[in-house]
Structure 1
Amino acid sequence: MPEKKTMERARSAKRAGKAPSTQAGAFVNEEIDHVREGKHGVKSAKQAVAIGLSKARRAGVDMKPPARGKTSTATRKKAEKDYEAGHKPASKRAKSASTESKTKRSRTTTAVLKRESGEGASHRAMSKQSHSAASRRSASSRSAAAKKAARTKGAAGRSAAAKKAAHTRAARAHH
């Protein structure tokens, strides 16, 4: 179950007109924090991101499942199931036949993740993952995303970003 503050961050991103992937970012951040806190581990940065996206879809974020050919069939099917689970009205959500088996499965998953290390969510691993993910996108796609980000940032956000950039430039000039 996602934390209350994560749900609120995702909701406020939606209100601000941010893309679903940005809304989902709140859940991915939560997952990375969990690994860094030692709640559980992950095999790779990719797995931490995948868990976060799964939680986001289940929480009702409009993250469409990946298109055919983008990922394995199993991954796509899981994403579709997660998306459906988060977009059904509460009354239609399936009541699990056996809560016992659900608890057991959940506990097993957590136990398996606990055996993994926290290295997958290290700054270096996350940086490498985001860099490789960005390099798979075209320059125009990255540019369009940056332009939309600037549009949805708002005047105060742009001003704050400019101040931060100036501060960083000044700090780097001294080195």
Structure 2
Amino acid sequence: MAEKQDETGERWSQDVTEHSDALDLEDDVFTWDDPARIAASLKESAESSGRRKGTPYQSAMSMLTFYVNRAGKNLPQQQLDVLERAKDELRTLFGRN
């Protein structure tokens, strides 16, 4: 089943990632190669957002998991590994080991 696209040709998951109503993400955050930097950015975004529905931890982890699940099959293994390590970093930053 093909992923739905909007009138601009963007996939809906790309639109969610770029225009999330819950978090203001730094540009290209999921393309960075430093898991600690990705986690720190997501934590900052989640803590500063007044629009999130859950806790900062839930919002940050949900956005990261959403991206991995939607883009995972198209990501190079190296970037997928970085993002999976970013989940561990995020847990550490929030004291959720």
| TM-score of the pair, normalised by structure 1 | 0.22
CA radius of gyration, larger in: 1
TM-score scaled by length of structure 2: 0.34
* More helix per residue: 1
Q: Which has the higher contact order (CA 8 A, sep 6+)?
A: 2
